[in-house]
Structure 1
Amino acid sequence: MEKAIIYQIFTRLFGNTNTTRKHNGTLMDNGCGKLNAFTPAVLRRIKELGVTHVWYTGVIRHATTTDYTRYGIPRQHPAVVKGNAGSPYAITDYYDIDPDLATNVDKRMNEFESLVKRTHKAGLKMIIDFVPNHVARQYKSTAKPKGIADFGENDNTGMQFSPQNNFYYCPEQSFAADIDLYHGEELPYEEFPAKATGNDCFGNRPGRNDWYETVKLNYGVDYCDAGGVSTHFSPTPDTWKKMLDILLFWAGKGVDAFRCDMAEMVPSAFWQWVTTEVRKKHHNVKFIGEVYNPGRYREYINAGFDYLYDKVGMYDSLRDVVCGHRSATDITRQWQTNDDIADHMLYFLENHDEQRIASDFFAGDARKGIPALMTSALMRTNPFMLYAGQEYGERGMDEEGFSGRDGRTTIFDYWSVDSLIHGYSSRRQLTKEEKSIEATYKKVLNIATNEKAVTGGKFFDLMYVNPTSADFNADRQYVFLRSNEDDLMIVLANFSDESSDCKVNIPQHAFNYLNLKKGIMEGTDLLNGEKITITLSDTDPLNLSVEAWSGRVIKISK
């Protein structure tokens, strides 16, 4: 049984060794990573980290201020592009590869197809984004297959809503967002009639904090019906059919899974239909949904999603435990909340939307994230995701341009990242701290993917028999067991800034549930190789020492 470890890569940044880093710099100033940077050696290093899947973020062509008209690519008005490089979630052509990523722009699809082959040859599976809720304001496909109409091409623009329109309109109204519509150009950006904006802003005047660079797609939901929201799913809306064609196009190129952006902003009825249709031709394709409302998790899993972000739950809890705002006992409450769908929850500590662990806005030190890594990667059989640079303690404290100094790595600007340069392009520059963090991530993630007690074993939370005492700090320590037929693993994560000598109780229930034997056992700490003698008993606690911001992973053969 495979436990998925997903490595998210913001493709534009990975492999860019240009360290100019000019604020608001252009492509010529600051450079850009390329698909060809993912050489067999680079992919092998990613694989050796313990990764099973690579999520290449931002490979589909999206809005940018860089002019590619000489390649037949329409130019975007800078007023409706966020940052010089642009957001990867403002798609301008669902059937094309972003030209920034190509060594030879005319051969950009060939370069992508070669990357698919290299990724698979390295023993990794490929994930790309599917952005179903919205497109760039100036969406125009120049690469779509023959016989496929463009989005909006056949819309009745005089109607605010029609089930067969691809967009929502503001009839007789021009686009008049609260932004500079010139943005240095001689002529302003013009759109008539104005289309609704991606974050469900159905007027013609989105604010500067709205997703003003995007247009909302119409899946047959009338959000402005006089009687409230109404749905019109029969006959099948045109947008559904267009999206199915897009998914089949990319699945046909060997894409193994789709990370579906803002999935809950698209009706679950569509997902039920489209996942079924895709799997008729590509049986093993996976769907990963960005869903933030826990009350709708089961709805979207039942609609065909394999995995959903566990952001409002496990991520928020672990972040607060790391920062000392919650007790480690809250981790138990979080997994219990979703225990019936545990295998479908995707755990993570970083992604492109969230602040870096090592940033001043989160923990300030990558080492403080190690106990959260151990917990989220080893606790269950569900997937774990990390963000490129996380394994080197990337701080995300640059002020790149459109992105300010906010603890996140920019998705809008041309930039490069020291931790990725050190880790993949010039390893002689790795600092002692970067090497240490990488070594720990490599150990933990390889335990997650290689140890059968983790990939398919049972889980037993020990917190209920280990309340806070002089011998165990339940606010700062979390302890659990993983077990299969052959092995037992004891995992102790210490979220404290102090080392501790802990006494861990194991109840009789654990012996029964996990089929454990009592007595003296020989074990090995998989993190440091230490041999340790353990007495398993339901009356006498285990004595375990643990370093600050660290943990123990003790494996015992049954």
Structure 2
Amino acid sequence: MDKLIIYQLLPRLFGNAQIRNKVNGSIEENGVGKLNNISDKALQEIKAMSFTHVWYTGVIEHATMTDYTANGIANDDPDIVKGRAGSPYAIKDYYDVAPDLAVDVNNRIAEYEALIQRTHNNGLKVIMDLVPNHVARTYASDVKPADVRDFGQDDDKSKAFDPRNDFYYIPGQSFVVPSGYNPGGDEFQSPLKDGRFDENPAKATGNDVFSARPSINDWFETMKLNYGVDYMNGRYGHFDPIPPLWNKIYDILDFWSKKGIDGYRCDMVEMVPTEFWAWVIPKLKAAYPGTIFIGEAYDKNKYGDYISRGGFDYLYDKVGLYDAIRRLTRNDYGASTWEINNVWNTHCHGIDQHMLRFMENHDEQRIASRYFAGDAWLAVPGMIVTATMNTGPVMIYSGQEVGEPALGNQGFSGDDGRTSIFDYCGVPEHQKWLNNGAFDGVNLSESQQNLRGFYQKLLLSVKNNEALSNGLFYELMMANEHQPGFDQLLYIYLRYTAEQRVLVIANFNRTERAIIVKLPDDLLNKLNISGKTAFTDLLSGVKFNTVDIRNGVQVKVLASGGLLLAF
């Protein structure tokens, strides 16, 4: 499979041109992006950056504090909604689209179908969320197919656990809203905002809290789904016969796949038994060949199992490469590029090509925020490694390419260096590129235009150079660790095929570095290279030449910079 280059965007944020950004502001005050805002022009610009897939995050209907009763949609109790807009991961109806995202609320599914078709027409594929572990406490599908049984519709609520139930229960106890929660802030008023929510018996909370009294720090707005695992009795699995929930999730995937979805980013896959993934993924792929599954996973000890047995195509590499690159980018004490070697040598050994690499996503802090690097340009060496170390996917989060710093408090999210997924807000630096729907970037500063240009050149190089997209990896750290100028903030490797070769040098130092990079004789013999050799940096066009490649190539690498030397 060719290397995937994924652009993640939240439609709620992507097309929003409103610049007010009032803390805890309503949809009328702070605005919201629509599916229709993701126009042909927007998609053409995304395609021009060399992206192959767009991950539309937060499309499915989720609980919200916004009133849509005029459209026949029941209000959600704000005491169990996080933020005025609500969490995209508290799904309210798996067969419906978030009304916030529609120009015509009553036509919202058709507007999403049109976006899927528009995306395909512009040569891009569509990824959407699957949130399999939990749903909103107000979950109720009002548009599901007639033959579909709703979650919990047939449950025996007298039992704490039954493999035939869709939820886990705390019999004899009512749900208690966490104390101290003030939904929507002081200004937000609603008859339902009373600190109570009627749920009797209480259901277990999404982050495995089997109590009627989850804390304010829990995923209290969600209910955990039951795949047949008895958590209160040794986590014993009851998978024969198949629990009803399994088929219900398959039906949901089938519903969206019929509409042309090309792949699914699966939320918190470790909270769902591997046995389910091993059943559902092959089943769906048999019906829809070519569908990809990306798993949000953090337990590196289980990675191999999710790939070999669970059927996932790709997994998040957050606890490996992301964490190592973050430390290097921040110039944390003791950070070393040898940590990168440890990533592919240990928990990613043998499966490195299955790892999805990124430096930002909706869960992580913005690079340009003061909580991360404070300067988007400091990410250059990290992005070079993130994008080019192997054949697995690379992902960019909307706004990253123009240095969005996520300044200030937006509401429930607070001031934490993240663009809020819970609140109605604009993304100020991204809006400069958005330019009220022109998507021309005329309002970007020169530095931002250059930054976006760097991302474009990097991704174009990855797409067009077969060594970077599909080539083999050869580590060059050990061959150069005793070279003058080498230190543990340089990372060096080769990507190569029979036809193309790229020498990658990333400099995490905050100062320029000069080094003669040596390629081992066994590698040169394997590649049949000798004598005078010319190198061209794919990012800048700068050329380097050697009299004899066996003596190495002498280069200077800019502070917080890098080279992609094709030869």
TM-score, structure 1 normalization: 0.97
Residues 381 and 190 (structure 1), Cα distance of their counterparts in 2 relative to 1, 3 Å cut: same
Partner in structure 2 of residue 463 of structure 1: 477
CA distance in 1 between counterparts of 2:160 and 2:450 reads: 57
Partner in structure 2 of residue 447 of structure 1: 461
**Do the aligned partners of 1:61 and 1:99 also contact (CA within 8 Å) in 2?**
yes
Q: Does 1:387 align with 2:389?
A: no
CA displacement at 1:64 relative to structure 2: 0.3
CA distance in 2 between counterparts of 1:476 and 1:113 reads: 47
Partner in structure 1 of residue 513 of structure 2: 500
Q: How does 1:276-295 map to 2 (within 5 A)?
A: 276-295=282-301
Per-residue displacement from partner, 1:369-390 (whole Å, max 9, x unpaired)?
0000001101111111110000
Aligned counterpart in structure 1 of residue 545 of structure 2, from 533, 538, 550: 533
Partner in structure 2 of residue 105 of structure 1: 105
CA displacement at 1:182 relative to structure 2: 8.5
CA displacement at 1:469 relative to structure 2: 5.2
**Do the aligned partners of 1:26 and 1:414 also contact (CA within 8 Å) in 2?**
yes
Partner in structure 2 of residue 56 of structure 1: 56
Residues 281 and 458 (structure 1), Cα distance of their counterparts in 2 relative to 1, 3 Å cut: same
**Do the aligned partners of 2:378 and 2:560 also contact (CA within 8 Å) in 1?**
yes
**Do the aligned partners of 1:480 and 1:492 also contact (CA within 8 Å) in 2?**
yes
Amino acid at match of 1:217: L
**Do the aligned partners of 1:79 and 1:180 also contact (CA within 8 Å) in 2?**
no
CA distance in 1 between counterparts of 2:419 and 2:531 reads: 50
CA displacement at 1:509 relative to structure 2: 2.6
Q: Match of 2:94, SS? A: strand
Per-residue displacement from partner, 1:48-94 (whole Å, max 9, x unpaired)?
11211100000000000001111111110000000000000000000
Q: Does 1:202 align with 2:210?
A: yes
Partner in structure 2 of residue 174 of structure 1: 174
Unaligned runs of 5+ in 2: 184-188
Q: Does 1:510 align with 2:519?
A: no
Q: Match of 1:142, SS? A: coil
Higher mean C-alpha displacement, 78-87 vs 329-338: 329-338
- Identity level (%): 46
Per-residue displacement from partner, 1:187-219 (whole Å, max 9, x unpaired)?
532110000000000010000000000000000
Q: Does 1:149 align with 2:138?
A: no
Aligned counterpart in structure 2 of residue 544 of structure 1, from 543, 550, 555: 555
**Do the aligned partners of 2:13 and 2:33 also contact (CA within 8 Å) in 1?**
yes
Partner in structure 1 of residue 222 of structure 2: 214
Q: Match of 1:64, SS? A: coil
CA distance in 1 between counterparts of 2:427 and 2:88 reads: 18
CA distance in 1 between counterparts of 2:548 and 2:342 reads: 26
CA displacement at 1:425 relative to structure 2: 2.5
**Do the aligned partners of 1:79 and 1:179 also contact (CA within 8 Å) in 2?**
no
**Do the aligned partners of 2:50 and 2:463 also contact (CA within 8 Å) in 1?**
yes
Aligned counterpart in structure 1 of residue 435 of structure 2, from 425, 433, 439: 425
Q: Does 1:322 align with 2:319?
A: no
Per-residue displacement from partner, 1:240-273 (whole Å, max 9, x unpaired)?
0100000000111000000000011000000010
**Do the aligned partners of 1:517 and 1:536 also contact (CA within 8 Å) in 2?**
no
CA distance in 1 between counterparts of 2:104 and 2:87 reads: 22
CA distance in 1 between counterparts of 2:77 and 2:344 reads: 46
Residues 23 and 484 (structure 1), Cα distance of their counterparts in 2 relative to 1, 3 Å cut: same
CA distance in 1 between counterparts of 2:129 and 2:483 reads: 47
CA displacement at 1:466 relative to structure 2: 1.4
Partner in structure 2 of residue 334 of structure 1: 343
Q: Match of 1:301, SS? A: helix
Residues 529 and 181 (structure 1), Cα distance of their counterparts in 2 relative to 1, 3 Å cut: closer
**Do the aligned partners of 1:371 and 1:495 also contact (CA within 8 Å) in 2?**
yes
CA distance in 1 between counterparts of 2:368 and 2:548 reads: 37
Residues 137 and 419 (structure 1), Cα distance of their counterparts in 2 relative to 1, 3 Å cut: same
Residues 468 and 394 (structure 1), Cα distance of their counterparts in 2 relative to 1, 3 Å cut: farther
CA distance in 1 between counterparts of 2:337 and 2:462 reads: 21
Higher mean C-alpha displacement, 306-315 vs 329-338: 329-338
CA displacement at 1:181 relative to structure 2: 7.6
Partner in structure 2 of residue 354 of structure 1: 364
Partner in structure 2 of residue 271 of structure 1: 277
Amino acid at match of 1:549: S
Partner in structure 1 of residue 450 of structure 2: 436
CA distance in 2 between counterparts of 1:292 and 1:417 reads: 28
Partner in structure 2 of residue 405 of structure 1: 415
CA distance in 2 between counterparts of 1:282 and 1:147 reads: 21
CA displacement at 1:37 relative to structure 2: 0.8
Q: How does 1:17-32 map to 2 (within 5 A)?
A: 17-32=17-32
CA distance in 1 between counterparts of 2:528 and 2:343 reads: 26
Amino acid at match of 1:136: A
Q: Match of 1:519, SS? A: coil
CA distance in 1 between counterparts of 2:552 and 2:182 reads: 70
Residues 536 and 233 (structure 1), Cα distance of their counterparts in 2 relative to 1, 3 Å cut: farther
Query: What's the RMSD between the two structures over aligned residues?
Result: 1.3
Amino acid at match of 1:477: L
CA distance in 2 between counterparts of 1:552 and 1:167 reads: 52
Q: How does 1:52-201 map to 2 (within 5 A)?
A: 52-179=52-179, 184-186=189-191, 187=194, 188-201=196-209
Q: Match of 1:424, SS? A: helix
Residues 264 and 424 (structure 1), Cα distance of their counterparts in 2 relative to 1, 3 Å cut: same
**Do the aligned partners of 1:371 and 1:494 also contact (CA within 8 Å) in 2?**
yes
Q: How does 1:256-267 map to 2 (within 5 A)?
A: 256-267=262-273
Per-residue displacement from partner, 1:78-133 (whole Å, max 9, x unpaired)?
00000000000000000000000001111111110110011111111100000000
Unaligned runs of 5+ in 1: none
CA displacement at 1:511 relative to structure 2: 1.9
Q: Match of 2:95, SS? A: strand
**Do the aligned partners of 2:11 and 2:38 also contact (CA within 8 Å) in 1?**
no
CA distance in 1 between counterparts of 2:180 and 2:143 reads: 31
Aligned counterpart in structure 1 of residue 531 of structure 2, from 496, 511, 519: 519
CA distance in 1 between counterparts of 2:287 and 2:483 reads: 57
Higher mean C-alpha displacement, 320-329 vs 357-366: 320-329
CA displacement at 1:439 relative to structure 2: 0.5
**Do the aligned partners of 1:53 and 1:124 also contact (CA within 8 Å) in 2?**
yes
Aligned length: 551
CA distance in 1 between counterparts of 2:544 and 2:304 reads: 43
**Do the aligned partners of 2:17 and 2:434 also contact (CA within 8 Å) in 1?**
no
Q: Match of 1:339, SS? A: coil
CA distance in 2 between counterparts of 1:407 and 1:387 reads: 14
Partner in structure 2 of residue 374 of structure 1: 384
CA displacement at 1:470 relative to structure 2: 3.6
Per-residue displacement from partner, 1:409-429 (whole Å, max 9, x unpaired)?
100000001222112335221
Per-residue displacement from partner, 1:218-246 (whole Å, max 9, x unpaired)?
00000012xx2211001110110100000
CA distance in 2 between counterparts of 1:343 and 1:433 reads: 33
Higher mean C-alpha displacement, 341-350 vs 527-536: 527-536
Q: Match of 2:532, SS? A: strand
CA distance in 2 between counterparts of 1:255 and 1:425 reads: 29
CA displacement at 1:339 relative to structure 2: 2.7
Aligned counterpart in structure 2 of residue 231 of structure 1, from 211, 234, 237: 237
CA distance in 1 between counterparts of 2:271 and 2:548 reads: 50
Q: Match of 1:13, SS? A: helix
CA displacement at 1:468 relative to structure 2: 5.5
Residues 124 and 99 (structure 1), Cα distance of their counterparts in 2 relative to 1, 3 Å cut: same
Per-residue displacement from partner, 1:23-46 (whole Å, max 9, x unpaired)?
100001101000011111110101
TM-score, structure 2 normalization: 0.95
CA distance in 2 between counterparts of 1:185 and 1:532 reads: 67
CA displacement at 1:535 relative to structure 2: 4.3
